[in-house]
Amino acid sequence: MKILDMPYFSYILLLAVIWDIVWKLIALWKSARNNQIAWFVVIGIINSIGILPIIYLITQKYKKK
C-alpha cells in the first residue's frame, strides 16, 4: 500500500499546508511591523512547515521595541 493511496493523506497534507500558511503569515506580519527585513526575507523564502516562523515569534516575543 502506497502512502498516496491512503484515504486521509490529502486531509493531512491540507492540514499541514494550512498550518504552515497561518504561522508564516503571522511571522511575516510581525517582522514587517518591526522593520526586520532579514527575518522577513528568510521566513518568506524558506518553507519549514511552520518551524521557522514559530522560532521567530518565540525569540522576538520578549524583545522590546
Tell me the pLDDT tens digit for each residue of 11-61. 888 898 898 889 899 999 999 999 999 999 888 888 667 788 888 888 888
Q: Look-up: residue for cell 493531512?
A: 12
Q: Are 46 and 29 in contact (CB under 8 A)?
A: no
Q: Are 43 and 31 in contact (CB under 8 A)?
A: yes
Residue 16 lies in a domain: yes
Residue 65 lies in a domain: no
Q: What global pTM score does this model have?
A: 0.69
53 lies in which domain range? 3-60
What amino acid occupies position 57?
L
Q: Which three cell numbers stand for residue 29?
A: 506580519
Residue 34 lies in a domain: yes
Residue 32 lies in a domain: yes
Residue 49 lies in a domain: yes
Residue 33 lies in a domain: yes
Question: What CA–CA distance (Å, rounded) separates 26 from 58?
Answer: 12
Residue 37 lies in a domain: yes
CB atoms within 10 A of CB 63: 8
* Number of domains forming the structure of the chain: 1
